[in-house]
Amino acid sequence: MNKTIGFIGCGKMAQAIIGGILKAEKVSAEMIIASAKSKATRAYVNETIGIKTTSSNIQVAEAADILFLAVKPNIHQAVISEIKDSLKQEVIVVTIAAGISISDLTDAFLRPIKAVRSMPNTPSLVGEGMSALCINELVTNEDLNEVKAIFSSFGKVEVVNEHLMDSIPAISGSSPAYVYMFIEALADGGVKDGVPREQAYKMAAQAVLGAAKMVLETGKHPGELKDEVCTPGGATIEAVGELEKQGFRSAVISAMEQCTAKIKNL
């Protein structure tokens, strides 16, 4: 792809996206520029990821054909006010900020703008991201294909109706955090029985990866796959019963409700 991709803000999520894009080798490092306020972040990104960095948001805005806004939601508006007169005419602006709507984005620019609202996740860094996105009416099919090609380079992408976007963080944007907690808990349980810590993490993570692949690749219902593990009269059904008794599913669903409620109030 021969377009300049700019990132305003270069924290955890932007670094995951940039790392994922570069790993896919569809865009070269010279075509990516990022700004960050902190000198330490700029130096780190420059040295470890190998892209151009700057303290100037305006420099990024002027250069970008596709501009990612990767700052926290509460400074989104201030950043747009700073850069809005420095954009290329046909730029596609992609926000990754949780809870920022297409209209928040377009209103802030005070002029018609090609706008994409997205919700990626940090596994993008290893090419296994899950991103959802929606667009406004100025984004052409060609633009959308370009944006989808970028997101697809570091994982899977789904285009959804905007009214669902506030619910996506709970499912895939934030959920890696709770999956890591689950992996930690599995490993702790193993360590309790004497399994060495490093082996326990490897086994727990690989079991989660394998189970996820089974859902994606066999097309079977997760309940059916669970049933295949539960030998009648065996050990797994004991664990399943205990998880139900401890409110495992309802704990997950309640956590997701809290997550979505917060997204609506960020």
Ligand X SMILES: O=C(O)[C@@H]1CCC=N1
Segment interacting with ligand X (CB under 6 A) among 34-42, 132-140, 146-154, 167-175: 167-175
Residues 6 or more apart whose CB falls under 8 angstroms from that of 34 comprise: 6, 7, 8, 9, 10, 14, 18, 45, 51, 52, 53, 54, 60
Site for ligand X in 93-122 (CB under 6 A): 98
Chain residue whose CB lies nearest ligand NAI: 11
Q: Is 38 in the site for ligand NAI (CB under 6 A)?
A: yes
Out of 22, 63, 67, 70, name the contact with ligand NAI by CB under 6 A.
70
Q: Is 175 in the site for ligand NAI (CB under 6 A)?
A: no
Measured on CA atoms in the order 252, 253, 254, 259, is the torsion positive or negative?
positive
Helix, strand, coil % in the chain, rounded to nearest 5: 60, 15, 25
70 appears as a binding residue in the annotation: yes
Site for ligand NAI in 97-156 (CB under 6 A): 97-98, 119-122
- Which residues, in sequence order, are bridge partners of residue 11? none
Residue 184 Cα to chain centre, angstroms: 21
73 appears as a binding residue in the annotation: yes
Q: Is 9 in the site for ligand NAI (CB under 6 A)?
A: yes
Q: Is 69 in the site for ligand X (CB under 6 A)?
A: no
Exposure on the CB side of residue 108, measured as CA atoms within 13 A: 22
Is-contact 35 57, C-beta < 8 A? yes
Give the binding site for ligand X (CB under 6 A).
Answer: 98, 169, 173-174
Residues that bind ligand NAI (CB under 6 A): 8-14, 35-38, 41, 57, 70-73, 75, 79, 96-98, 119-122, 173
